[in-house]
Structure 1
Amino acid sequence: MLERRLLRNLDYLFIGNIIFILAASLVVLTSASSNVTSDPLYFVKKQLVWIIFGIFAAGVMAAINYAQLVNYTRFLYVANLLMLLAVLFIGKEAKGAERWIQLGPFLFQPSEFSKIILIVTLAHFLEQRKGKLERLRDLLPAFVHVGIPMLFIMKQPDLGTSLVLMAILFGMLYIAGARPALLIGIIAAGIAVILLALFLHYQFGLPIPLKDYQLMRLVVFLNPYNDGQGGRGAGYHIIQSQVAIGSGHIWGKGWNRGSQVQLNFLPEHHTDFIFSVVGEEFGFIGAVFLLSLYFSLLYRAMKIALNAKDVFGVLLVTGVVSMFAFHILVNVGMTIGVMPITGLPLPLFSYGGSSMLTNMLALGLVLSVNLRRQKIVF
Structure 2
Amino acid sequence: MKRILYWLHRAFGAFDPPLLALLVMMALLGLTVMHSAVGGTDWRFADQSRNFLIALVVMWAIAMTPPPVLMKMAPYFYGLGVLLLLGVEFFGETSKGATRWLDLGVVRIQPSEMLKIAAPMMLAWYFHRNQGRLRVVDFLVAGVLLAVPFGLIVLQPDLGTALLVFATGFFVIYFGGLSFRLLIPLTIAIVIGLGTLVYYEKDICQPDVDWVVLHDYQKFRVCTLLDPSSDPLGKGFHTIQSMIAVGSGGIYGKGYMKGTQTHLDFIPERTTDFIFAVYAEEFGLYGGIMMLVLYLLIIARGLTIAMRAHTQFGRLMAGSMAMMFFAYVFVNVGMVTGILPVVGVPLPFMSYGGTALMTLGIASGLLMSIGHYRPVRH
TM-score (norm 2): 0.89
Shift in Å, 1:214 = 1.1
| Structure 1 match to 2:246 | 245
**Counterpart mapping for 1:283-362 below 5 A:** 283-362=284-363
Decide which of 191, 211, 216 is 1:212's aligned counterpart: 216
More deviation, 76-85/268-277: 76-85
| Bigger shift: residues 265-274 or 3-12 | 3-12
- The equivalent residue for 1:28 is 33
Are 1:248 and 1:279, in contact at CA under 8 Å, matched by a contact in 2?
Answer: yes
Q: Which runs of 5+ in 1 are unaligned?
A: none
Query: Which amino acid in 1 is paired with 2:342?
Result: I
| Alpha-carbon shift at residue 319 of structure 1 (Å) | 1.4
Partner of 1:232: 233
Shift of 1:171: 1.5
Question: Is 1:146 paired with 2:140?
Answer: no
8 A contact 1:216–1:234 mirrored in 2: yes
The SS at the match of 2:102 is strand
1:175 aligns with 2:175: yes
Q: Among 5, 20, 26, which residue is 1:15 paired with?
A: 20
Amino acid aligned to 2:229: Y
1:46 Cα deviation (Å)? 0.8
Q: Secondary structure at the match of 2:284?
A: helix
**CA distance, structure 1, for counterparts of residue 35 and residue 256 of structure 2:** 9
Distance 1:104 1:41, change over 3 A: farther
Q: Which residue of 1 aligns with 2:274?
A: 273
**2:61 pairs with 1:57:** no
The answer to whether the 8 A contact 1:253-1:280 is kept is yes
Return the alpha-carbon distance in structure 2 between the equivalents of residues 103 and 282 of structure 1.
Answer: 43
Moved more, 110-119 or 293-302: 110-119
Worse-matched range after superposition: 93-102 or 156-165: 93-102
Indicate how the Cα distance of structure 1 residues 148 and 314 shifts in structure 2: closer, same or farther if over 3 A, else same: same
Q: Deviations along 1:55-84, whole A, 9 cap, x unmatched?
A: 111111011111122323322222011111
Task: Tell me the SS of whatever aligns to 1:58.
Answer: helix
1:16-61 per-residue CA deviation (whole Å, 9 max, x = no partner) reads: 11111111111101111238xxxx5111111111111111111110
Work out whether residues 331 and 344 of structure 1, in 8 Å CA contact, stay in contact via their aligned partners in 2. yes
User: Which amino acid letter does the alignment assign opposite residue 164 of structure 2?
Assistant: V
Shift of 1:186: 3.0
Distance 2:11 2:336 in 1: 41
Percentage of matched positions with identical amino acids: 34
Match of 2:3 in 1: none
Report the Cα distance in structure 2 between the residues aligned to 1:376 and 1:2, rounded to whole angstroms: 20
Partners of 2:159 and 2:149 in 1: how far apart? Answer: 13
Superposition deviation, residue 178 in structure 1 = 1.0
Greater shift after overlay, 246-255 or 199-208? Answer: 199-208
Shift of 1:196: 7.1
From the superposition, tell whether residues 340 and 12 of structure 1 become closer, same or farther in structure 2 (CA, over 3 Å). Answer: same
CA RMSD of aligned residues (A): 2.7
Change (3 A) 1:140 1:3: farther
Structure 1 residue 181: Cα displacement: 1.6
Q: Distance in 2 between matches of 1:14 and 1:78?
A: 30
Residues 1:16 and 1:346: Cα distance change in structure 2 (over 3 Å)? same
Contact conserved, 1:113 with 1:354, CA < 8 A, in 2?
A: no
Q: Is the 8 A contact 1:333 1:339 kept in 2?
A: yes
* Contact 1:234-1:341 within 8 A present in 2 as well: no
| Equivalent position of 2:259 in the other structure | 258
Change in Cα spacing, 1:320 to 1:220, as seen in structure 2 (3 Å) is: same
> C-alpha deviations, 1:258-313, integer Å up to 9, x for none?
11111111111110000111100111121111111100001011111111001100
Q: 1:46 aligned to 2:47?
A: yes
The counterpart of 2:227, out of the listed 223, 226, 235, is 223
Residues 108 and 354 of structure 1 are in contact (CA less than 8 Å); yes or no, is this contact kept in structure 2? no
Structure 1 residue 100: deviation in Å?
A: 2.3
| Aligned AA (2:174) | Y
The 1:9–1:308 alpha-carbon spacing in structure 2 relative to 1, beyond 3 Å, is farther
What is the CA distance between 1:166 and its match in structure 2? Answer: 2.1
In the TM superposition, residue 107 of structure 1 has moved relative to its aligned partner by 4.9
Contact 1:122 1:145 in 2 (8 A): yes
Which residue identity is paired with 2:180? P
The CA deviation at 1:91 is 2.9
8 Å Cα contact 2:14/2:63 also seen in 1: no
> Partner of 1:225: helix, strand, or coil?
helix
Q: 1:261 to 1:112 in 2, by over 3 A?
A: same
- The amino acid across from 1:296 in the alignment is L
CA 1:23–1:236 in 2, change beyond 3 Å: closer, same or farther?
same
